[in-house]
Structure 1
Amino acid sequence: MPLRSPLPCLLFAICLLSTSLLGQDIVVKTNIMVAMRDGVKLATDLYLPAENGIEKTGRYPVVLTRLPYNKDGAKKLGMYYAANGYVFVAQDCRGRYASEGVWHWMTDDGKDGVDCAKWIGQQPWSDGKIGMIGTSYVGGTQHAMALEGTPELTTVIPVDAVSNGGAQSMRNAGAFEMRFWNWIMLNAAKGSVASQDPATAAMLKEMVDNRHEYLKHLPLRPGMTPLKHAPEYESWLIDAMRHGANDEFWAQNNILENADSYKDIPVYLVGGWYDSWAGNTTANFTILSKTLKSPVYLIMGPWIHGKQAGHSHGQVDFGPEAAIPDELAWRKEWYDHWLKGLDNSVGKSAPFATKVRLFVMGTGDGSKTEKGLLYHGGQWREENEWPLARTRLTKYYFTSEGHATTTPPSLQKSATSYTFDPKNPVPTIGGSISSGDDILLQGAWDQRGGEHVWNWQKPLPLSARNDIVVFQTEPLSEDLEVTGEVEVKMWISSTAVDTDFTAKLVDVYPASADWPGGFDLNITDGILRARFRDSLKKEKMMTPGEIYPVTIRLYPTANVFKKGHRIRVDISSSNFPRFDVNPNTGEPLNANRRMETAINTIHHDAEHPSAIVLPLIPR
C-alpha cells in the first residue's frame, strides 16, 4: 500500500541509515521519500547543522528548494545554509529524477509544495518557518506555494521565475516562445521517467542532437517524433503550442489575475533586462506591491537568465559593478532578517535600501574590451516604484522615409508594405531568452549574422533584409534615458487572415575606431499574433486589407541612448526561433499543413499615427 500521510515516520527512520557526513559542521541525509497526499513519494535531501559530525539538536528555520533539475545539484546551497544556521531542504519535483509520479508543467507544484512544507513543519529540527530559493522553474515553485497560501511559507526570493504563462514569456501575445520547445526536448531526455530506460534515453538523445533539423519541420504533431516515448512531455508541449488563449490552460502561477491569493509575505523579485521572464517580473512587482501588506522588493540588472553573478552577456560588457558576485550571501541577509528576525541591512542599504533597484545600462564609452566585447556599461540606481513616477511617455512616430520622430505625421496617406515568407523567417540574434541551449543566443548582440548564428551564417546585418522595416531617429543631440515598459502602437493591414508583427528596439552605435561598422545593439523586443490583437482571451481573424490598430508589448528595459547614437525600431513579422512562425493561413495553432506568403503593411499617416512609445526619464 502506498503511504498516504505527508509524515511517513517509518520511511524517515529508514532513510536515517543512509546518512552521510560531509564535514564537521553539516550532516546530509539523502533520498528521504516524502509522501504527498495522493501517496506519490518525492525524493528529498536534508542538510542539517552539526557539531563534530553529529546533528545538532534544536529547531532551525528552513531554506527550501523544489526543482525539476536534480536535487543533487543543490549541494553547494545546502552546505552554505546549513553552515550558517539553517536546515536546507532540496526536493525533486514530481516525476523528475529520484521522485515518483508523473511530471506535469507546474500544475502539481502548488499542492506538492504545501505537503512538503507541512512535512517540514512537523520535523523536530524545524522551527516552522520556511524561506524558498531558486531560479526559473524553481522560482516558479515558490510562486506556486505562495499562491496556495502555504502556512509555513515565510518569505520567497523568486529569481527569473515562471509566472503568467498565457500573457507573456510562454505564450507571448498569442505567439509561442520556442525556448519551451527546447526545454521539453532537453528535459525529456534527462531526468524524466522515460530517460531511465537506456534504449529510450538513446532515442531521446538522438532527438536532442538533431534539434536544428526538427526546427525545420514544425509543427510538432502527436506521435510523429521520438518525443512520443516521453508522453507527458509530448502531451504538454503540443497542448501548449496549440493553446494560444490566456485562459484556464495557463492558470497555474497566473499572479496577474490571482494576486489576492498570494500569501502576504515578504517577497524579493529578481530579474534581468535580458531575461526571458523580465516582463512578468516587473508586472508581478507592480501588482504584488499594491496587493500585499508585506514588503515587496524588486531588483533588475542587465543580466541574462540566472546569471546575476556575471557582468558580460552576449557580445556586451556592462562593467563589473553590474554583477552580484556573492549570490548566496545577499540571500542569507534577507533570510536572516525575515526568518531569524535579525536587525541587519534589509531596508537600510543596497541591495535592500529601497523597494526598487535598477541597473540603467548604456553609460559606458562604447570601447572594445580586452575580450573583444562592446563596453556598454551602466550604473545602479535606487528607486521607490515601478514604473517610475517621473516617466514621460513619448511617442516616436514612423514615417515613409524610415524616420522615427516626435513630430506627428501630417500626410493623408502613408504606408510601408513588405513581404513576409514564413519559410524564410527572420533569425533571432540575442534577446530576452532562457533555455536557448544550441538554438538561441541570449542577451545583447550586434544584429549581424555570422558563424555564431546557426540560421544566419553570413556576416550580414539583419537590417539588410527586405522583410525588416527600419525606423530610426537622427543621431541624438543629447543623452536620452529609456526606463520602463515599452510599447509599439501601430496601424496594420495584411493580405492574410492571421499573421504576426514583431518589434525590436535597437541602440545604434555610430562607427568608431573600435567598431568601424558601428554596433546595432538589441535592447528589447516583442511580438503580436494578429488573431489576438483585441484580446488575449479570444482569437479573432482579420479581414484581408482592413486596417487595424495593434499594440506590441516589448520587454521592459533601462538604457541610456547616448549622444550621437540613434534609437531604432525594427518591425517585421518573425523572430525565429525566439517565437514560433505564423504560417499566415489562419489554421489552428500548431496544426497547420500549409504556409502562405503575406503582404503586411504598416500605416503611418495622420489618421494612423504608428509609433513606439518610449518611457523617457528626465535628466
Structure 2
Amino acid sequence: MTTPARHGSETPRLPAFERVRHWQLTRSLESVPVSEVVVERGVRVAMSDGTVLLTDHWVPTTPSPGAPVLLTRTPYGRDGFGAEALTFAERGHHVVVQSCRGHFGSEGTFNPFFDETSDGLDCVAWIEEQPWFTGRIHTYGGSYVGMTQWALTPRLPDSVEAMVIGISARSFLRSIIHHRGGFGLETAVAWHVVLGSMEDSAVRQVRTQLAARGAVARGGDAIPPTRAVERATGTDTPFFQDWLAHDPDDPWWAPTDFELSPSVVPPLVLVAGFYDLFGHAQVEDFVALRAAGRPVRLVAGPWTHVSPEISRVAIAESLRQLAGVEAAHAEPAVRIRPIGGSSWLSFDAWPPPGHLLTLHPHEDGSLRPDPPARAARVGYHYDPAQPTPMGGGRSLNVWTAGRRDQKVREERDDVLVWTSGPLTRDTLVAGEVEVTVEMASTNPTVDLFARLCEVDRRGRSWNLADGYLRATHDGTERGRLGPVRRHVVTLGAMAAQVRRGHRLRLQVSSGAHPLHLRNPGTDDPVRDFSKLVGSDQQVGLGPASTHVVIPIAEVPGS
C-alpha cells in the first residue's frame, strides 16, 4: 500500500461546541498537556479495493517517545471527534481519525458493519507505514465506533495493543436488531434519523433532533414495518430492508458478528450504561472475555446512550491504558456507579458477591418472599392495534430512553403489576434479574416483557431494568388458549441503590412499543402485518410458578 501525499498541517480550531466538550473532558483529568498540536486534515488513505477514505492526523509537536498511536474510525464525522483528538494529542499521542465509507467525504457506500474489518485492517497497515508510527496502536470510541474496533478482532494486527470500547457490543444482531427473537424497531429508526442529518449544519441538526420525537414515533407506528424508516425520515435504506428480511440464523449476518474469537481480543476497558441499548450485551461480553482469560475491565454507570459522562470516563480509562496497559489492568476488574447512587464501587468480578432474593407474585398484587399457597391465574389481553408502550429503558431514542415514571404503563389493563413491601434498609441490587413466567396464550408466538421497578415513598414507580423474549408455544392453536409454558426472561445487567422505605415492583406484559416491534399475531411476526390479531395471556401463580430472582450485592466496606 502506498502512502498518499499529505495535506498541509494547521493549528486546530475546534467548533464552539467541541471547545466546550474539550473543557468538560479535560477539567478533571490527572494528566496535563505536554505538547502543542497541529492537524493534517483530509489525508486520502486508499483501501485495498481502491476506495479512498478521508482521514485526519492530529500531530503532537512534542510527541512522547514511544507513545502509542490512538486510532478512531467513525461514520459520524471527524470534526465531532475533535475534543477527544485534541485531548490525546496534547498528551503526546499521534491521533488518527478516519471517516467510514460513504460519509464526510470518504468514497464508497456505507453498508453498516460489512466493510469495517477490511477497512480497519487497511487503516492499521497505513499507520504502520508512517514515519511517526511507534510500533503500538490503541483504539478508542463508542457506539458504532466501538463496532469498528470489534471488527478488528477477527484478524487482530500485532500492533494493536489495547482498546477502550464504550456503549457497544460484539454482536449488533444479538444485542439490538434481532434481540431474543424480536426486532429492535425503535433503535433502527432512531439511528436512521441520526444518519440522515449528521452532515447537516449545526442549526439543522438541532432542528432534526427536536423533531426526532415525532419522527421516531411515526416510524415506530408504521404498518407494515418495512415503511418505518421512510415514514420517519422521508427516505429508505437498503440495509434497513436487509435487517428485516434476514432472520437471525441467516448466514448473511456472519460478517457482522465479532463474537467468534475471544482469545485474540487485546486488553480492553468496556464502558457501559445500565440504561444503554448495548448495556446488557456489553456486560455479557465482559463476562465471556473474562471466562476466556482475557484482560478486560468493566466500568458502568446509570447512563443512557448519550450521557455526557460516558466520554469523560472513557477518556480517563484510555489515558490510563496509554500510560501503561499492565498497570491499568492491575486495578479492580469492575467499577460501577449504581442507578440512584452517588459513589463508585469496585469489585473483582461480575456479578458482585451477594445473595439471591426470590419474590413471588400473589393474586392481591403483592410481591412476597413466600409463594402463594394455592395455584391461580391472572390474565390480560394484548391488542397490537394499541400496543403496550415502552415507558423508558434501554433505547437509542433520547426522548424515550432511561429512567421514566411508569404511571402510564402501570395504569393499562395489559400490564400486570405486583409490588413488594417497603425495604427495611438501603439495598444494592446488582447483577442480572431473572423472571420466570408460567403462561398460557392464544398466540403460538407470544411476546414477554418483564420489568423491575423501584417505587419511592410518594408512590411513583421508576424503571430499573427490563427484559424481552419472543417465545414459541408449540401446541397452541391461534385464537384458542394453549397449554401452559414456562419461560425465563433475563433483565440484563443492572445495578441500583434502592433506598430504605422504597419498594420493588414487577411488571409483566406482552409489549414495549416501539422499542421492540409489536407482535401482530401472525405466523411471521416480523414481516407479516397483513392483519393485527390480538391475544389473551394467562399467567400462572402458585407454589412453584411465576417468580422473580433478584441479586442483592454486598456493598464494599459495609
* TM-score of Structure 1 vs Structure 2, range by shorter chain: 0.7 to 0.9
Q: Pairwise mapping of residues 559-574 of structure 1 onto structure 2 (< 5 A)?
A: 559-574=496-511
State how far apart, in whole Å, the 2-side matches of 1:40 and 1:616 are: 53
Aligned residues of 2:67 and 2:322 also touching (Cα < 8 A)? no
C-alpha change, 1:563 and 1:80, in structure 2 (3 Å) is closer
Percent of aligned positions that are identical:
26
Report whether the alignment pairs 1:422 with 2:390.
no
Report whether the alignment pairs 1:111 with 2:111.
no
C-alpha change, 1:560 and 1:108, in structure 2 (3 Å) is same
Select the residue among 307, 326, 348 that pairs with 1:384: 348
3-state DSSP of counterpart to 2:56: strand
State how far apart, in whole Å, the 1-side matches of 2:37 and 2:497 are: 47
Aligned to 2:320: 333
Deviation (angstroms), 1:250:
3.9
C-alpha change, 1:482 and 1:57, in structure 2 (3 Å) is closer
Deviation (angstroms), 1:21:
2.8
Select the residue among 199, 214, 218 that pairs with 2:223: 218
Aligned to 1:602: 539
3-state DSSP of counterpart to 1:304: coil
Q: Deviations over 1:189-244 (max 9, x none)?
A: 2368xx99xxxxx99x999974433332232337994799966xx22212323445
C-alpha change, 1:287 and 1:557, in structure 2 (3 Å) is same
Report whether the alignment pairs 1:131 with 2:138.
yes
Write the letter of the residue equivalent to 1:62: V
Higher helix share: 2
State how far apart, in whole Å, the 2-side matches of 1:552 and 1:301 are: 23
C-alpha change, 1:484 and 1:267, in structure 2 (3 Å) is same
Write the letter of the residue equivalent to 2:427: L
Aligned to 1:455: none
Aligned residues of 1:156 and 1:267 also touching (Cα < 8 A)? yes
- TM-score when scaled to structure 2? 0.86
Aligned to 1:615: 551
Q: Deviations over 1:401-451 (max 9, x none)?
A: 22222223331x3111101111112222221222x14xx422112223xxx
Q: Pairwise mapping of residues 139-154 of structure 1 onto structure 2 (< 5 A)?
A: 139-154=146-161
Q: Deviations over 1:359-386 (max 9, x none)?
A: 234xxxxxxxxxxxxxx33432111111
Select the residue among 453, 462, 465 that pairs with 1:506: 453
Report whether the alignment pairs 1:579 with 2:516.
yes
Report whether the alignment pairs 1:245 with 2:223.
no
Deviation (angstroms), 1:165:
2.8
Report whether the alignment pairs 1:278 with 2:279.
yes
Select the residue among 22, 38, 48 that pairs with 2:59: 48
Aligned residues of 2:430 and 2:495 also touching (Cα < 8 A)? yes
3-state DSSP of counterpart to 1:169: helix
Aligned residues of 1:160 and 1:306 also touching (Cα < 8 A)? no
State how far apart, in whole Å, the 2-side matches of 1:325 and 1:168 are: 24
C-alpha change, 1:209 and 1:520, in structure 2 (3 Å) is closer
Aligned residues of 1:259 and 1:287 also touching (Cα < 8 A)? no
Report whether the alignment pairs 1:8 with 2:22.
no
Deviation (angstroms), 1:474:
1.9
Write the letter of the residue equivalent to 1:268: V
Aligned to 1:36: 47
C-alpha change, 1:243 and 1:551, in structure 2 (3 Å) is farther
C-alpha change, 1:228 and 1:354, in structure 2 (3 Å) is closer
State how far apart, in whole Å, the 1-side matches of 2:445 and 2:524 are: 9
Select the residue among 415, 420, 434 that pairs with 1:473: 420
Write the letter of the residue equivalent to 1:552: V
State how far apart, in whole Å, the 1-side matches of 2:190 and 2:509 are: 26
Deviation (angstroms), 1:251:
3.4
Aligned to 2:402: 443
State how far apart, in whole Å, the 2-side matches of 1:303 and 1:611 are: 28
State how far apart, in whole Å, the 1-side matches of 2:66 and 2:423 are: 61
Deviation (angstroms), 1:99:
1.0
Aligned to 1:371: none
C-alpha change, 1:34 and 1:545, in structure 2 (3 Å) is same
C-alpha change, 1:169 and 1:359, in structure 2 (3 Å) is same
Aligned to 1:19: 9
Select the residue among 461, 468, 472 that pairs with 1:527: 468
Aligned to 2:334: 356
State how far apart, in whole Å, the 2-side matches of 1:57 and 1:614 are: 49
Aligned residues of 2:465 and 2:491 also touching (Cα < 8 A)? yes
Aligned residues of 2:359 and 2:368 also touching (Cα < 8 A)? yes
3-state DSSP of counterpart to 1:47: strand
State how far apart, in whole Å, the 2-side matches of 1:541 and 1:8 are: 63
Deviation (angstroms), 1:159:
0.4
Write the letter of the residue equivalent to 1:336: A
3-state DSSP of counterpart to 2:151: helix
Deviation (angstroms), 1:498:
1.9
Aligned residues of 1:156 and 1:268 also touching (Cα < 8 A)? yes
Write the letter of the residue equivalent to 1:529: R
Aligned residues of 2:221 and 2:228 also touching (Cα < 8 A)? no
- TM-score when scaled to structure 1? 0.78
3-state DSSP of counterpart to 1:462: helix
Deviation (angstroms), 1:560:
3.0
Aligned to 2:23: none
Aligned to 2:31: none
Aligned residues: 525
C-alpha change, 1:505 and 1:250, in structure 2 (3 Å) is farther
State how far apart, in whole Å, the 2-side matches of 1:229 and 1:546 are: 44
Q: Pairwise mapping of residues 341-352 of structure 1 onto structure 2 (< 5 A)?
A: 346-347=328-329
3-state DSSP of counterpart to 1:166: helix
Deviation (angstroms), 1:106:
0.9
Aligned residues of 2:433 and 2:549 also touching (Cα < 8 A)? yes
Q: Deviations over 1:465-516 (max 9, x none)?
A: 11110012122233433210111111111112222111110001122xxxxx
Aligned to 2:393: 431
Write the letter of the residue equivalent to 1:214: G
Aligned residues of 1:243 and 1:249 also touching (Cα < 8 A)? yes
Aligned residues of 2:221 and 2:514 also touching (Cα < 8 A)? no
Q: Pairwise mapping of residues 47-446 of structure 1 onto structure 2 (< 5 A)?
A: 47-50=58-61, 60-190=67-197, 210-221=215-226, 225=230, 234-252=237-255, 254-256=257-259, 258-260=260-262, 262-293=263-294, 295-307=295-307, 309=309, 328-338=315-325, 346-347=328-329, 353-361=331-339, 376-388=340-352, 390-411=353-374, 413-434=375-396, 436-437=397-398, 440-446=399-405
Q: Pairwise mapping of residues 454-473 of structure 1 onto structure 2 (< 5 A)?
A: 461-473=408-420
Q: Which moved more, 1:217-226 or 1:554-563?
A: 217-226
Deviation (angstroms), 1:183:
3.6
3-state DSSP of counterpart to 2:61: strand
State how far apart, in whole Å, the 2-side matches of 1:184 and 1:66 are: 18
State how far apart, in whole Å, the 2-side matches of 1:274 and 1:226 are: 27
Aligned residues of 2:521 and 2:532 also touching (Cα < 8 A)? yes
3-state DSSP of counterpart to 1:402: coil
C-alpha change, 1:292 and 1:32, in structure 2 (3 Å) is farther
3-state DSSP of counterpart to 1:550: strand
Deviation (angstroms), 1:164:
2.3
C-alpha change, 1:333 and 1:424, in structure 2 (3 Å) is same
Aligned to 1:454: none
Aligned to 1:493: 440
Deviation (angstroms), 1:255:
4.8
State how far apart, in whole Å, the 1-side matches of 2:337 and 2:65 are: 41
Question: What's the C-alpha RMSD, in Å, of the aligned pairs?
Answer: 3.0
Write the letter of the residue equivalent to 1:286: V
Aligned residues of 2:56 and 2:97 also touching (Cα < 8 A)? yes
C-alpha change, 1:150 and 1:230, in structure 2 (3 Å) is farther
Aligned residues of 1:40 and 1:101 also touching (Cα < 8 A)? yes
